[in-house]
Structure 1
């Protein structure tokens, strides 16, 4: 297998070098349209400046430094004489997201990777296809629907509590528990029941092919060929189809997910064929079954239905479990803030808050959740390609390469643009000197603070859920699940790092990057867990 990968990498490098040479000649003969922007110099004829961000411990810091030096809209040289425009200006970012269906779309590489992993569903679709699929699923994520599902989130969290209580019965000073593993289980069981009326029962110890497939993506470091594809793939989209270790693993995950989706669909068809349940009809699985019908107004074929299930399962599992893990990490690092949150939860009383109370009656819980989503967005950036020429407005005028001051730039068709979400969420220019610190208190005074963060569109001035017509459809679902689970855990348990709050956290590559305690094999976060006295 190693020799095959070595030969494949050599062939790819030769081919890529040839295509790069042709591209270079063409670009020198034909003057590329569009506004010429300032930006960092190329560090490599082949890779441009891509390796600087790829190798950085935190690429968002690099993007922030470049924005300070070159302005809030700048360009970065990428692999094979390409370029990418980076948007750190709120007005430009808002325009970018508002035009996602019509102008700024996924690149060929991005769509190929999504199709390989999820199928051609909502995440893959563009234009009218995306509009149709999103409209079919929207009722499942209404406020009324989430209000009904809140009890499911509590049930999964209390099941987790019962398991930890049993473990702590045998100890007097707490137990070392890999909280990331358990956050994965509670997230998967919750999305299974709430979204698809299917209990994976992973919290009860049952094996789940879905969980095993997800974990396989984070179990090993990417090969050299996989890393090459990541850097030059925008220029050479066919690389996404090569049989690298990562692509093969993703293919296995999709096949596993599709098989499970088929089983769930068939099970629900049998159980609900003669039942009439209005709430079921407006659930995710109910709406998918309805859309699958030949006479459905917003019809989806079988492949689209299965693709939606794949997307929603993975999104519900990965993003929620990662956010919950980060919450426990930050609270373990900051015991005084953990105690402050627990005090608010205990003072609320023994009853579980309703969905409405989760959003209004617990301000420090709300602030803690928002601060985690600000500091640790699961998706670090959005990258799109201009489908047609565009003129993009800029809120803060910039200086072009020719020295001209402009408040709008010309974006030619085919231009690659990125919004560095993590960078903007954590940038000092928007959030002040404490931008990199975990401070839930900032949300309690944000309306009165003269911070530029209020220029940013999106949920509570964050880009974590994106913005515009492709705003995360499951935002309310994710927030309710996050708050319910965190409430149950912090109210009942104390979390500490066994080696102290200065424990180093690193990132583990996977479908989405996950936190891990430095030195652990794979994404593991062992914490000392004690009962609240």
Structure 2
């Protein structure tokens, strides 16, 4: 590629020579020579950077203002688009976004592994995401990068370890049994049909909130008992698509000041921070008082209790009291939203696939009444397969964007054709490039999961597909899925989420039979909320997922 073929070369040269002309008009030949030398070095640096940068192919923008930004927010088409673009333009390609800017999409497994090995260090969160996280959750582990992230993550890990979650498994069972009792009451009140149409989305929200409240804070929000608290209202509002505008989400990525407007989304974020902050402060005060008097605080197995003990013993690697509160916010919101969404999708898939539901029920009934943490992890293989398949098809986080803090050379699994027509085994990107790893699309890609990749098929977890195994195994996330991410930012609460998910599903599928309320042909789509929640097409109630539930008769 010649110097004049560089995309921004003409603009850079004009701006540089404009500055040279203004400065070189100053009196004194020495000044003029110095300016010319510095300017020449600057232009040479630009030229070399342009020469090193790999010209990447990608689709032509449909418009300068939004590009494909609106298109990729539509979760019904994004998976197919990303895969088609990878097939057409190569495993690393660029997608035009707002105001002519582009994002680089990674589809190549080796490139993705390289990226995750450098996440939080060479690749940082984009400013929009950092602003949203700070406004909602504070400066906790989801906000931090580099050394700050490493320190906070190290302090958080013991509270989410296998040993900690093992002590919390009974909390998840209790929430599921409380739900089963409530559903039994609704079914018994319909003696004519012996079934009830239940909004499982709402109940999964309640299970997740009460479980997270007890497990994270040792605080029962009482959602399963009908307590309509401020926390219930705020968290349900976060999941509602009614509080989101596609255009505002897109524009705010380039104009962060939009986030300061009194929009419903920002108001809910502010209210959430205040409410959870107050609960954390109350628990903090109570724990310190109990510790001083030798009370029950020593037996507190909650995540926040463990964090507070680590802070007090100096084992928290310098976690400040405010950071402890911010981590608690992260644990509550992440535990509520992601698990509620995933469990709702699980019940929908079981209702749409009665043969899978029957096979899962048979395994759970044969096992016994109350599996332990280790039983859920190792002794219920079909439950594990169903959970994995739900996580594969319905990843709560669809993609992650990161900004390169410096120039990087990304290796590829195989040579790729560039926009200049040559082939390369690596891609050089300049500082400031926005990189995107499309979690959901990779999880459903034919190249990694075979021709039936879009189909709900738990049996795939017992089969070996030699044709796609190599591509999958290059990804080192949980079960080679992107659902929990990978690298330094791999979801720290994955054991918490998996254990709750399996414990709740175990109890409910043993007890009830699930069917689509309006017949097997009803269409379920993903709505735009904080996370893409399922919803029934044409439903008058946004965010509602009604299923017909009846008691299983032995």
Counterpart residue number, 1:497: 516
Count of aligned pairs between the two proteins = 509
Q: Secondary structure at the match of 1:417?
A: strand
1:154–1:446 Cα change, 3 Å: farther
8 Å CA contact 2:252–2:259 kept in 1: the answer is yes
State the partner residue of 1:204: 225
Say if 2:290 and 2:296, in contact at 8 Å, map to a contact too.
no
Q: Distance in 1 between matches of 2:219 and 2:9?
A: 51
| Number of the residue aligned with 2:550 | 530
Measure how far apart 1:450 and its partner are: 4.8
Is the 8 Å Cα contact of residues 218 and 510 (structure 1) preserved in structure 2?
A: yes
| Pairing of 1:143-292 with structure 2 (within 5 A) | 143-172=162-191, 173-219=194-240, 221-222=242-243, 226-275=245-294, 280=299, 283-292=302-311
Map 1:499-514; keep pairs closer than 5 Å: 499-514=518-533
The secondary structure found in structure 2 opposite 1:285 is helix
Indicate how the Cα distance of structure 1 residues 56 and 287 shifts in structure 2: closer, same or farther if over 3 A, else same: closer
User: Alpha-carbon deviation of 1:295?
Assistant: 5.4
Deviations 1:175-223 (A, max 9, x none): 0110110001111111111222111121111122212101223445356
Contact 2:304 2:324 in 1 (8 A): no
SS in 1 for 2:415: strand
1:372-451 matched pairs, under 5 angstroms: 372-446=390-464, 450-451=468-469
Q: Is the Cα–Cα contact under 8 Å of residues 297 and 305 in structure 2 kept in the other structure?
A: no
Displacement of 1:404 in angstroms is 1.5
Q: Which runs of 5+ in 1 are unaligned?
A: 1-21
What secondary structure does 1:396 align onto? Answer: strand
- In structure 2, distance between residues paired with 1:450 and 1:52: 28
Measured in 2, the distance between the counterparts of 1:407 and 1:230 equals 36
Given that 1:24 and 1:81 are in contact with CA atoms closer than 8 Å, whether structure 2 keeps it comes out as: no
On the 8 A contact 2:243/2:265 being kept in 1, the answer is yes
Is the Cα–Cα contact under 8 Å of residues 109 and 240 in structure 1 kept in the other structure?
no
Secondary structure at 1:500 match in 2: coil
- The CA distance in 2 between the partners of 1:24 and 1:281, in whole Å, is 65
CA contact (8 A) 1:136 1:287 kept: no
- Quick one: structure 1 residues 308 and 399, their matched pair in 2 at CA, closer, same or farther if it must change by over 3 Å? same
Q: Distance in 2 between matches of 1:26 and 1:475?
A: 47
Residues 270 and 519 of structure 1, relative CA distance in 2, 3 Å threshold: farther
1:63 to partner: Cα distance: 1.1
Sort the Cα spacing of 1:129 and 1:96 in 2 relative to 1 into closer, same or farther, 3 A: same
Name the SS of the counterpart of 2:534 in structure 1: strand
- CA displacement 1:294-335 (0-9 Å, x = unmatched): 956523333212211111000000011110000000000011
Q: Deviations over 1:248-278 (max 9, x none)?
A: 3322222232223223333444445434779
Offset at residue 55 of structure 1 (A): 4.3
Give, in angstroms, the shift of residue 447 of structure 1.
7.0
Q: Is the 8 A contact 1:217 1:511 kept in 2?
A: yes
Shift of 1:288: 2.6
TM, length-normalised to structure 1: 0.90
Structure 2 residue 160 is the aligned partner of structure 1 residue 141: yes
1:5 is matched with none
The answer to whether the 8 Å contact 1:174/1:529 transfers is yes
Distance 2:268 2:227 in 1: 22
What is the rounded CA distance, in whole Å, between the counterparts of 1:309 and 1:101 in structure 2? 21
Deviates more, 1:508-517 or 1:480-489: 508-517
User: By how many angstroms is 1:502 displaced?
Assistant: 1.6
TM-score, scaled relative to structure 2: 0.87
Matches within 5 A, 1:20-35: 33=50, 34-35=53-54
Mark the CA change 1:218 to 1:360 in structure 2 (over 3 Å): closer, same or farther: closer
Q: Deviations over 1:468-519 (max 9, x none)?
A: 1111111111111110000000010000012112211122222212111122
Q: 1:330 aligns with which of 336, 349, 365?
A: 349
Aligned partners of 1:471, 1:70: CA distance in 2, in Å? 29
Q: Give CA deviations for 1:106-129 in whole Å, capped at 9, x if unaligned.
A: 011111111001001111011111
- Distance (whole Å) between structure 2 residues aligned to residue 82 and residue 329 of structure 1: 38
In the alignment, which residue of structure 1 is the partner of 2:40? none
The aligned counterpart of 1:361 is 379
Q: Do the aligned residues in 1 keep the contact of 2:159 with 2:307 (CA within 8 Å)?
A: no
How far does residue 54 in structure 1 lie from its aligned partner after superposition? 2.9
The answer to whether the Cα contact below 8 Å between 2:59 and 2:94 also exists between their aligned partners in 1 is yes
Aligned to 1:18: none
Shift of 1:131: 1.0
Larger Rg over CA atoms: 2
RMSD of Structure 2 on Structure 1 (CA): 2.4
Contact persistence 1:139–1:282 (CA under 8 A):
no
Task: Name the CA distance, whole Å, in 2 between partners of 1:272 and 1:171.
Answer: 51
Distance 1:27-1:133 versus aligned 2 partners, 3 A rule: farther
Cα gap change, 1:248 to 1:283, in 2 (>3 Å): closer
Residue 98 (structure 1) shift:
1.3
1:34-53 to structure 2, matched below 5 A, reads 34-53=53-72
In structure 2, the CA distance between the partners of 1:192 and 1:27, relative to structure 1 (3 Å rule), is: farther
**2:450 & 2:206 partners in 1: Cα distance?**
36
Residue 218 of structure 1 contacts residue 508 of structure 1 at CA under 8 Å; is this kept in 2? Answer: no
Q: Which moved more, 1:104-113 or 1:193-202?
A: 193-202
Q: Distance in 1 between matches of 2:337 and 2:448?
A: 28
Judge conservation of contact 1:38–1:400 (CA < 8 Å) in 2.
yes
Q: Evaluate the alpha carbon distance shift between residue 273 and residue 372 of structure 1 in structure 2; reply closer, same or farther with a 3 A threshold.
A: farther
Q: 1:70 aligns with which of 85, 89, 113?
A: 89
- Asked whether the equivalents of residues 79 and 231 of structure 1 are also in contact (C-alpha less than 8 Å), the reply is yes
